[in-house]
Amino acid sequence: MRDHDVTLSERTSGALVVEIQGELDIGTVLRWTTLIEAAICELPEPHLLVLDLTALRFLSVRGARGLLEAVESCRDRGITGCLIVPPGGAAARVVRLTGLAARVRVFPSRLTAIAACQPVEMRWLPG
Structure confidence by residue, pLDDT tens digits, 2-35: 444 555 555 546 788 889 999 999 999 999 989 8
Has residue 124 been placed in a domain?
A: no
Contact 81, 75 (CB under 8 A): yes
For residue 37, is it within any domain?
yes
Q: How many domains does the chain have?
A: 1
Tell me, yes or no, if the pTM score tops 0.95: no
Flag whether 127 is in a domain. Answer: no
Residue 1 has pLDDT above 50, yes or no: no
Q: 68-91, pLDDT tens digit by residue?
A: 999 998 888 888 899 999 998 889
DSSP, residue by residue, the chain: --GGGEEEEE-TTSEEEEEE-EEESTTTHHHHHHHHHHHHHHSS--SEEEEE-TTEEEE-HHHHHHHHHHHHHHHHTT-EEEEE--TTSTTHHHHHHTTHHHHSEEESSHHHHHHHHS-GGG-----
Is 84 inside a domain boundary?
yes
Q: Kindly tell me if the per-residue pLDDT of 45 is higher than 80.
A: no
The CATH number covering residue 76 comes to 3.30.750.24
Residue 70 lies in a domain: yes
- Whole-number pLDDT of residue 52: 93
The answer as to whether 85 is a domain residue is: yes
In a domain, 42, yes or no: yes
